[in-house]
Amino acid sequence: MPNNPPPIDGARVLADLNTLRGIGTYRTGVHKPTFSDAHMGSLRWLAERLPEAGLAAEVDGIGNVVGTSAKPGPKLLAGSHLESQNFAGWLDGPLGVVYALEAARVINPDATIRGAVEVASWCDEEGHFGHFLGSRSYVGALTEADIDAARDRNSDRTMREALASAGLAGRPRVTAERGRHVGYLEAHIEQGETLESADLSIGVVTSIVGIWQYRIVFTGEQNHAGTTRMAIRKDAGLAMSRFCVAVDESFPKLSGPRTVWTTGRMTLDPGAPSIIPGRAEMLFQIRDDDAGVIARLEQHLRALAADVTAQGGCVVEVERIRTGTPARMDAGFQDAIEAAARDLAGGKSLRMPSGAGHDAQVLATIMPAGMLFVPSIGGISHHWHENTADADIVTGAAVFVDACLRLLASTS
Amino acid sequence: MPNNPPPIDGARVLADLNTLRGIGTYRTGVHKPTFSDAHMGSLRWLAERLPEAGLAAEVDGIGNVVGTSAKPGPKLLAGSHLESQNFAGWLDGPLGVVYALEAARVINPDATIRGAVEVASWCDEEGHFGHFLGSRSYVGALTEADIDAARDRNSDRTMREALASAGLAGRPRVTAERGRHVGYLEAHIEQGETLESADLSIGVVTSIVGIWQYRIVFTGEQNHAGTTRMAIRKDAGLAMSRFCVAVDESFPKLSGPRTVWTTGRMTLDPGAPSIIPGRAEMLFQIRDDDAGVIARLEQHLRALAADVTAQGGCVVEVERIRTGTPARMDAGFQDAIEAAARDLAGGKSLRMPSGAGHDAQVLATIMPAGMLFVPSIGGISHHWHENTADADIVTGAAVFVDACLRLLASTS
């Protein structure tokens, strides 16, 4: 790596992040569902910035932006995403994109540095229409039939309709040129409180959890809430509540130290005040960086469901609808981030697994990948309160660019 | 009463009920939300039939149909409702309206019978926009401001908008002429299995339960489902599940023999698979024909909520949003129905409380009121499977008309 790395422009990084917060602003955060006007405006903003970093780019047929460099030498791919959860924070996604943009602006025009950083924004990391649709498209793991089947989880609008109204229908999808990149580097807010509570600046991600998602359906008997005696009811909602409590009581005995499980949605059918629900449905997920732990918990989940069904009041069906394999981050990438943090963040870094899913786990299926975290204030995430101190954002950018330089320099 | 009561026409009763099932048919039932085309079509059908029974009628400004007789002598008011729950049964409401129509057709043109039956269809008994809005309007207990505030519980459309699109905006509302009626008689399907399981034909309603309805809100902390450790979560959905299980375990110790309680709706906010819900809401109701029992259970409900709040993870707020007072049915009306059942249903009747709410409890606030039940097959109600044997429908009609004759004859 060069003896005198060119300085990053911290004010420019903060200004870019605030510009992106200004597109689709919601309170102190943003509301940018995938393919919304605010999301598309953010993609156009990025595509217009990339030429400043010597990159040719456009928005492709799945909503990815991938900037390509004509500079000779090794290429490092870097990026994140620009859509948000609904009514959520300003840094979840944009931070990694702006760091990548800053790295490209610093490194690519400098003829004394060998190689270039190529910048990507992956579409729909937040899963409005599916799971990592953008990065899966780039690595060649998304078929046209997958896109045909995808629907907006909130409105039931098809992805095809959304692509058409965003003006992307019919555009080609950009896919990875195998062997082109030395690897993929992504920065993200931690979304937890590990770094903040230990007064650290940089998380060096060792692995990304696998997420197994389930739809669990309880079938009882719909009936009148006034005339049906308690003794003969088959209340699907009550069965669901009992199931959730049983999960909460028994999972800790079988889980690993960092396993988490969440019921994110519950619905009763028909959902009327005077009708005993005949059907209830919940979305449930388990995360761990050890697939064996998840498999063990799934086995227990199915046993709990069988117990409820055997009791006869209601039938419980457990359907796994997502199987995300945990991913290991490349050892060389971890070393590069840690070394950069030693030089530019006073060594205040920690190796840690990621409890959140990230596009890096998809890119890791075709190239070495690494991730860097910056602290989240109060650990808050997926909420418009989400924030990171400006000083931490700037330190993170410096470490990120330095890690990029180390990774480019390390290639033969 | 007359020695030779005129015969009812059972085939006509069944044909009318099937005609009403043909308006807004859903499978073997109907889908007739209040003010839907199917509901309005059913009201017009009734208004067109009433002149055959010597009654003048139109649809009023709240969607009630009240037929008025010019015949001298005592008047008995009879009816029920024509809208349905969503995707529900064909008899819940129409049965009582067609019985009343049949009674009017048999009694009113017969100059040998003193007095007349006046027929009513009360709007929105099923509570799409509120609670007994039609019958409350008729008894003078519904203000214009109440109508201004009413909204469709499913679409959030205002009642004013619905009235306008149904063509009822600006029409006057018909209200009761005090002293005009000897009382109000309503027939309904039982909606439970008490009659069927005892092989009985007629239920003589002694009282109608009070319904106290609650909105219960759980406030925790919304956060990321991957990065937030289990130990520090404040999961509003889990708090709601625990609360429901606690209610189910403790209520039986404090309830009466026929008390029922139901959670009809549960929602998590924001309801996304990867977000720990920061807010959860449930609709909960308690029914009993003893207001003291309900009050005791409410006190316990609030204590459970205070316990959860005191534990600190989540805050629980209990808001009572409906307070329906139990109503006693008139003793003379009970006697008349029982006597009619003795003569025309082989005495196969049972005095019983109504676990469902009915317009009769509203009419009971201004005049003597009575109710008659016919059996529900399998006790099923508020579902398109709802049904009653044709023979039971015809027997019920005969008992109903006979009870009308007895009530008219009993007046001085």
pLDDT at B301: 98
In a domain? residue B112: yes
**Cβ contacts of B228 on chain A, cutoff 8 Å:** 192, 260, 355, 379, 381
pLDDT at B297 (0 to 100): 98
* Chain A residues lying within 8 Å of B226, measured CB to CB: 191, 209, 211, 260, 287, 354-357
Kindly report which listed range (A79-83, A325-329, B223-227, B351-355) carries the lowest average pLDDT score. B223-227
Residues A177 and A53 in one domain: yes
A234 and A163 in a single domain? The answer is no
User: Quick check: B253 contacting A, CB < 8 Å?
Assistant: no
Closest CB to A382 among B211, B223, B238: B223
**Pair A201, A267 in one domain:** no
Q: Is A357 on the interface with B (CB under 8 A)?
A: yes
Q: Is B380 exposed, middle or buried (0-12, 13-18, 19+ CB in 10 A)?
A: buried
**Among B323, B351, B367, where does a domain finish?**
B323
Residues of A whose CB is below 8 A from B213: 273
pLDDT for B2 beyond 70: no
Instruction: Show which of A288, A323, A358 is a domain's final residue.
Output: A323
> Among B302, B323, B344, where does a domain finish?
B323
B380 contacts in chain A (CB < 8 Å): 223
Cβ proximity of B41 and B23 under 8 Å? yes
- Residue A220 in any domain: the answer is yes
> Minimal Cα–Cα distance from A50 to chain B, Å?
31
Q: Which two three-digit tokens encode residue B323?
A: 């307070």
Alpha carbon of B187: minimum distance to chain A alpha carbons (Å): 15
Check CB contact of B354 with chain A, cutoff 8 Å: yes
Which tens digits make up the pLDDT trace of B114-151? 999 999 999 999 999 998 999 999 999 999 999 999 99
Q: Cα separation of B122 and B143, whole Å?
A: 16
Residue A3 lies in a domain: no
Q: A31: buried, middle or exposed (CB in 10 Å: 19+, 13-18, 0-12)?
A: middle
Q: What's the mean pLDDT in B372-383?
A: 93
Domain that holds residue A186: 10-208+328-409
Q: What is the chain A residue with the closest CA to B234?
A: A262
Question: How high is the pLDDT of residue B375?
Answer: 98
Domain contains B1: no
Does B3 reside within a domain? Answer: no
Averaged over B165-174, what is the pLDDT? Answer: 97
- On whether both A220 and A298 belong to a single domain, the answer is yes
What residues of B are in contact with residue A222 (Cβ under 8 Å)? 382-383
Cα separation, A316 vs A307, in Å, equals 9
A240 near B CB under 8 A: yes
The per-residue pLDDT for A5 is 65
Do the interacting molecules here have an ipTM over 0.90?
no
pLDDT digits (tens, 9 = 90+) for B294-342: 999 999 999 999 999 999 899 999 999 998 889 999 999 999 999 999 9
Residue A5: inside a domain: no
Q: Residue B303 falls within a domain, yes or no?
A: yes
Instruction: Calculate the alpha carbon distances from B207 to A101, A336, B252, B327, B371 in Å.
Output: 74, 78, 22, 5, 9
Alpha helix stretches (DSSP H) within A255-344: 291-311, 331-344
CB contact under 8 Å between B261 and A230, yes or no, is yes
Confidence class of residue B5 from pLDDT cuts 50, 70 and 90?
Answer: low
Which of A214, A223, A227, A289 would you mutate first to test chain B, the one with the most B CBs within 10 A? A227
Query: How sure is the predictor about B230, in pLDDT bands with cuts at 50, 70 and 90?
Result: very high
Domain of residue B243, CATH code: 3.30.70.360
Provide the residue type at B41 as one letter: G
Test B191 with A266 for CB contact under 8 angstroms.
no
Q: Among partner residues A227, A238, A275, which is closest to B85 by beta-carbon distance? A: A275
Which of A223, A294, A380 best tests the B interface by mutation, with the highest count of B CBs <10 A? Answer: A223
Q: In chain A, which stretches have pLDDT less than 70?
A: 1-5, 412
Residue identified by tokens 């219960």 is: B216
Confidence at residue B290, expressed as pLDDT on a 0 to 100 scale: 92
pLDDT tens digit sequence for A282-300:
999 999 999 999 999 999 9
- The verdict on A267 and A214 lying in the same domain is yes
b (16+ CB within 10 A) / e for A282-319: bbbbbbbbbeebbebbbebbeebbeebbeeebbbbebe
State which residue of chain B sits closest to A213, comparing Cα positions. Answer: B273
Q: What per-residue confidence (pLDDT) applies to B382?
A: 83
Q: What 3-state DSSP class applies to B19?
A: helix
**Interchain proximity B225–A379, CB inside 8 Å:** no
Examine residue A300 and state whether it is found in any structural domain, yes or no: yes
Q: Looking at the structure, do residues A17 and A144 belong to the same domain, yes or no?
A: yes
DSSP 3-state percent helix, strand, coil across chain B (nearest 5): 35, 25, 40
- Shared domain for A50 and A123, answered yes or no, is yes
* Minimum CA–CA partner of A379 in chain B: B228
Asked whether residue B67 falls in the same domain as residue B133, the answer is yes
**φ and ψ at residue B254, rounded to 5 degrees:** -115, -5
Distance separating alpha carbons of residues A131 and A137, to the nearest angstrom: 11
Same domain, B27 and B41: yes
For residue B275, the chain A residue with the least C-alpha distance is A264
B19 plus B139 within the same structural domain: yes
Residue B269 C-alpha, separation from nearest chain A C-alpha, in angstroms: 8
**Which residues of B, range 91-130, sit inside 8 Å of A by Cβ?**
127
- Closest Cβ opposite residue B355 in set A227, A237, A285: A227
CA gap B131, B240 in Å, rounded: 26
Is the CB of B89 inside 8 Å of chain A's CB atoms? no
Q: What is the CATH number of the domain that holds A337?
A: 3.40.630.10
Give chain B's domain count: 2
User: What pLDDT was estimated at residue A325?
Assistant: 85
d(CA A347, CA A136): 34
pLDDT value, residue B412: 58
A203 touches chain B (CB under 8 A): no
A400 and A360, same domain (yes or no): yes
Q: Do A192 and B238 touch (CB under 8 A)?
A: no
Contact flag A245-B242 (C-beta cutoff 8 Å): yes
Task: Please state whether beta strands B349-354 and B202-208 pair in parallel, antiparallel, or not at all (unpaired).
Answer: parallel
* B164, B310 Cβ separation under 8 angstroms: no
B173 and B296 within one domain: no
Condensed to tens digits (0 to 9), the pLDDT of residues B173-192 reads 999 999 999 999 999 999 98
